[in-house]
Structure formats: C-alpha cells, structure tokens
Amino acid sequence: MSFNAKMYGLGSKRSIIREIFEYSKARAAEIGADNVFDFSLGNPSVPAPAVVNETIKELLDTEDSVLLHGYTSAPGDLGVRTVIASSIKERFGVDMTPNFIYMTCGAAASLTSCLRALVENEEDECIAFAPFFTEYRVFVENAGGKFVVSMPEKKTFSIDLADFESKLNEHTKAVIINSPNNPSGVVYSEKTIKGMCDILRQKEQEYGHEIYLIADEPYRELVYADVKVPYLMNYYDNTLVCYSYSKSLSLPGERIGYIAVNPKMIDAGSVYLAICGAARSLGFVCAPSMFQHVIARCHNAKVNVDAYKENRDLLYDNLTAYGYECVKPDGAFYLFVKSPVEGDAYAFYEKAKEKEILVVPCDDFGVKGYVRIAYCVDKRRVQNSLPAFQKLAEEYK
C-alpha cells in the first residue's frame, strides 16, 4: 500500500455507534421510525437556545459580511477570547486572560491539539479513567503516545484512587478526565478530585516533571441534581480545559469550543505556544468565525436541561424497577447499564435489538459487560420503549 495503513485502519473500521446508527435508519425505513427505539447517538435532542438563532440572524443583518465570514487570527478572535476569559474568571475565580484561550472546532480538536502539544515521544503515557470516550485512545495514539487505562471503583464508577496511583510512572505525561462522564453520567465528587490531584502533585515531585491534567468538559453544564462539578484549575495548577459548546448549547455540528490553559501552570505561556503549534500542525487554526461571534454573545445561554432530566428519571426509575443495574447519573445524557448476561455486553445488545431497542455495547469504553443508553432523545421514545425494556428484563429472569 502506498498510503498510511494505520489511517486506513481507522477509516475503514466503522465505529459500533455509527454501525448501529446506519442499522437504525434502515430498520426505521422497514418498520417506521416510531417503532425503533434508538438510544445509540450522543446527539443533543433539545434545540439550541432561541437566542442562538436570533444572534445568527442579527450578525448576518448587521455585521460586515467579509469580516464575519473571514479568517480570524489563528487562536481565535481576540474580542471573543476576551469574553470567554472574563466568563471563566467570573464563574470560577481563575485569573484567566485571552492569551491563554485557543478557539477550536469542538472538544475533539481541543483534545487532539493538547495531546499533540504535550506528547514528546512514544514512551510518553496518557492515562484515561474507564469508562472513557472511545476516541481518547485514537487521539492519544495518534499524538504518538501510549494509552493507559485506570479502572474505576466497581459500584460507583468513580475514580479508584489506588488503581490510578498504580498506573502512574515516570513516563506519565498527561491524565484525561471527563466529568460529567460519557458513558456513565457520573460526576466525580470534590473529594475524589482532591484525592486525585494530591496523588498527581506527589508524583510530579517524585518524578521531577510535570504531569498535565486535561479536563474534557463538553458536559459541564448538563447536571441534574444539586451537584457541583469542580473546576479543575482550582485544584491543580497544571490543568488544561477542553471545552465545547456541542452539548452545552446543542451545537455539535457547528464545531466550536476552546482550550483554556491555567495561567498558574508552570511555563503556561510556553505550553500555550506549544498548543498553538500543535493546532497549526493539525490544521486547526481559526475556528469557525461566525460561531466564534455567536459564542461571544450567547455563552451564558442555557439549553433545556430539564428535558434530559425527565428522560433520565423515566429511564432510571423504570429500568431499575424492572431489575436492571445501573448507577444513577448526575450529569451528561447517558445511562450505563450492566448486561444481565454477566460480562457480555454484545449478548445484551443483540437481545435488546430483537425488541427494537438500540443501545451501544461498551467494551471499547474500557469496562466490559455494559451498554450505554443515550437518552438525548424525544421523551415519547423513552416512554414507548419502556414495555420493550420490561419484556426484555422478564426474559432474563
């Protein structure tokens, strides 16, 4: 072959989620969309706040078209970055400035840029906490590093600090943390975060080099109870935040987010420049211009999180009553359900499929024997699926 076999491998192997999505479309054509209970995709089901569309119209009507659609500076428009920096300062008390903000095409571009900026050679290791967003493995390996998994506490799916400590070594370059979590919906508590940061600081001292914490935060605003999502820069200096508006403003197709480097980080300015270089090398310069301006005006807007909460309550209450096992999610829009067939997510997935329920088997998320239910769907779909979930549970009894 005269092209990159690794890339061919990535491109030709369709993800299970995409596969289910294609199946769902074909099945809907056969039996009607209302009869297929597709819970596979993490695509927000609540619309973007009205102010987003109003702002787009206003921008189109009032702004200079050439400027609005033109290139911004590579890290993003200075005015936009200033608004975001002020918002971070106001919300979290971090002394953020625009020269530590880099606008990106969503969390995926933020993560790949950060990893590319940090990983120096193939011995460098990046740890993720299972269960994890499957693309982390792809991103870390593509940055040239080694992907290492820290296993969770079995009952809570929180971080197992002892396991985490055992995975750190002199090669550890970065740790990726995602809370609220995809796929478990778990929000890591402040106590857990403090414990993790204490371990990191201790290990930095022991190994004599920085270990960077990459906080992947597309679900920060999607929390249901009165839970606090700790802002990691306030707990650990060497933190980079990868933020995205894909879920918080229901704009996944617009590809907009940012990287924020903690000003308190050792050599923060140089790390920021390495991110600029990494993003440049990956072609992630000048995030979508019009949406940068939309964000500057709408960053405080909120989607209707109550719609997700209603779905969460309906599913969690009913599924646990039928006998399914899962942790009650405090955030994001996923339910992580244990397969009634011990350790076999695929068997559960196949059996659910017979009842027209489409869920994602999660072995690739780092924990075997679970499926993910993405409840970012119309409430009617959740309601209509419940008898099928109940029948399925009965078949396992």
Would you tell me which residues interact with ligand PLP (CB under 6 A)? 42, 106-108, 133, 178, 182, 216, 218, 244, 246, 252, 257
Give the nearest distance from C-beta 218 to ligand PLP in angstroms.
5
Strand intervals (E) in the chain? 37-38, 101-104, 125-129, 146-150, 172-178, 212-216, 239-244, 257-261, 334-338, 357-358, 360-361, 370-374
Output 222 or 357, the one with its CB closest to ligand PLP.
Answer: 222
Which of 178, 292 has the CB closer to ligand PLP?
178
Using the structure block, give the residue that is written with the tokens 């033109």: 70
345 neighbors 371 (Cβ within 8 angstroms): yes
Shortest gap between Cβ of 132 and ligand PLP (angstroms)? 8
Structure tokens at 75: 């890290």
Amino acid identity, position 300: N
Q: Considering the complex, what minimum distance in angstroms separates the CB of residue 253 from ligand PLP?
A: 9
Question: Least distance (Å) from ligand PLP to the CB of residue 202?
Answer: 27
Burial annotation 29-54 (CB, 10 A radius, 16+ → b, else e): eeeeeeebbbbbbbebbbebbebbee
- What are 324's two structure tokens? 């399914």
Of 185 and 340, nearer to ligand PLP (C-beta) is 185
DSSP at 340: S
- Shortest approach of ligand PLP to residue 107 CB, angstroms? 4
Q: In whole angstroms, how close is the CB of 295 to ligand PLP at the nearest point?
A: 12
Q: Which is nearer to ligand PLP, 288 or 340 (CB)?
A: 288
At 334, list the tokens.
Answer: 């996923």
Cβ closer to ligand PLP: 188 or 389? 188
The C-alpha atoms of residue 242 and residue 103 are separated, in whole angstroms, by 10
Residue nearest to ligand PLP (CB): 106
Shorter beta-carbon distance to ligand PLP: residue 106 or 185: 106
* DSSP label at residue 187: -
In the complex, the smallest distance separating the C-beta of residue 19 from ligand PLP, rounded to whole angstroms, is: 17
Look up residue 94 and give its two tokens. Answer: 């971090």
The tokens for 31 are 């039996």
Backbone angles phi, psi at 242, to 5 degrees: -105, 105
Which residue's CB is nearer to ligand PLP, number 247 or number 293? 247
Query: Rounded to whole angstroms, how far apart are CA atoms 354 and 27?
Result: 11
Of the two residues 147 and 389, which places its CB atom closer to ligand PLP in the complex? Answer: 147
Least separation in angstroms between CB 390 and ligand PLP: 29
* CB count in 10 Å sphere of residue 317: 11
Q: Which residue has the tokens 């940012």?
A: 258
DSSP code for 257? E
